Amino acid sequence: MKIQAERRDVRHLYIRVRRDRTVLVTIPRAMPDAVWQQFVESRRAWIEASLAKIPPPAQYAYTDGEVHWLLGRRVTLRVQKGGENRCRIDGDTAVMTVRSARTDRAALLGACWAQELSAVLSDLITQWAPRMAVHPGGFTIRRMKSRWGSCQTCTGALTFALDLAVKPVACIESVVVHELNHLIEPSHSPRFHALMTHWLPDWKERKRRLEAFPREFS
**Domain-embedded: residue 58:** no
Reported as a pLDDT band with limits 50, 70 and 90, residue 70 is very high
> What distances in angstroms separate CA 146 from CA 30, 57, 71, 110, 218, one per listed residue?
26, 13, 20, 18, 8
Q: What pLDDT does 218 receive? A: 65
**Domain-embedded: residue 90:** yes
pTM (predicted TM-score): 0.79
Q: What is the mean pLDDT of residues 172-176?
A: 98
**Domain-embedded: residue 93:** yes
Q: Give the count of beta carbons closer than 10 Å to the beta carbon of residue 55.
A: 11
What 3-state DSSP class applies to 58?
A: coil
Q: Looking at residue 134, which CATH number applies to its domain?
A: 3.30.2010.10
Reported as a pLDDT band with limits 50, 70 and 90, residue 54 is confident
Helix (H) or strand (E) holding 44: helix 44-52
Q: How do residues 80-125 score in pLDDT, each as one tens digit?
A: 999 999 999 999 999 999 999 999 999 999 999 999 999 999 999 9
By the 10 Å C-beta count (0-12 exposed, 13-18 middle, 19+ buried), 119 is classed as exposed
For the chain, the average pLDDT equals: 93
Q: What is the mean pLDDT of residues 157-183?
A: 97
Specify whether 83 is located in the same domain as 175.
Answer: yes
- Residue span of the structural domain in which 167 resides: 67-212
Specify whether 151 is located in the same domain as 71.
Answer: yes
**Domain-embedded: residue 61:** no
**Domain-embedded: residue 60:** no
Reported as a pLDDT band with limits 50, 70 and 90, residue 212 is confident
User: Is 80 exceeded by the pLDDT of residue 151?
Assistant: yes
Q: What pLDDT does 18 receive? A: 79
